[in-house]
Amino acid sequence: MSKKIPLLIDTDPGVDDALALLMAFADERHEVVGLTVAAGNVGLGHTVRNALKLCEVAGRGDVPVFAGAPDPLVHPAEDAAHVHGRDGFGDVDLPAAARAAETEHAALAILRLSHQYAGELLLVALGPLTNIALALKLDPTLPQRVKRFLVMGGAITGHGNITPVAEFNIAFDPEAAHIVFTAFPHVEVADWEATVAHGLLHRSVEQWLAADTDKARFYELISRQTRLWSEDSRGEHWYAADALAMAWALQPEGATRLEQRPLAIEMAGGRTRGATVVDWNRQTGAADNTTLLIGYDQARFESQVQRALGLVS
């Protein structure tokens, strides 16, 4: 087959991150060249530990894991332990992975890998954008070397999941998001509202996770608490935000509707901090700096999830 696409994933595992990473590992067209890890869903100690454990379970001990930012750039933020468990993986007391993270800081690894794979790199951000913002401050030329940059984050019409108008990843570190969205000339955005439009039925997910595969058993275990919380609070669909973003990253041809618009980050509003403000009518004169995912082939998305769990080859 043709040369694989190098894929660098910035992440904060997290139950939904774990599913997205399994999807990336299972995709034959891409080669995961590193995981750069930040605090977000839970603290950095847990997110790094979880990234290492996920690699071990997936049989991908070759993928380097780089620890990054332990906090947002400026203001403290609350994590999402109430969703993912205190340890980010459902509080099921998994033993630690056998290996440790690399000594290189995540921001430096992003820059080094952007040079190594200049013009080819697919960069996917599944968590707060702190690591990427730090990399940009060290080297503003980073965007010139990234072929595609895709972010899971935002709420493009103001239907947030952590505040009335803001999505968790952006709200956790709005200053970092502002740096990133102003530095990259173009960002592909899979937001929370796209996630809600592409929910997975709990009953279907339960069937998938009952499969006799190591990955399905592992994911059933770490996601159980999150799925029960989701069903109690959000109804019959489970919303796997990072998985949808990864599906689009890996198979962009599955998008059924995309929109290009200017997008800016609100940092100061008393009720709107962390909002992703989309200029739908192009009133500001700003350039279209984003491609927004509105629709994605649901069957293709679900097929990628099943492949990640080992249900199909």
| Radius of gyration in angstroms for the set of CA atoms belonging to the chain, rounded to a whole number | 18
- Residues 291 and 260: beta-carbon distance below 8 Å: yes
Quickly tell me which residue has 């995540």 as its tokens: 106
> Pairing state of beta strands 255-261 and 263-265?
unpaired
- Residues 127 and 41: beta-carbon distance below 8 Å: yes
- Residues 64 and 31: beta-carbon distance below 8 Å: no
- Residues 241 and 192: beta-carbon distance below 8 Å: yes
DSSP character string of 16-85 = HHHHHHHHHHH-TTEEEEEEEE-SSSS-HHHHHHHHHHHHHHTT-TTS-EEE--SS-SSS-----HHHH-
| Residues carrying an active site annotation | 237
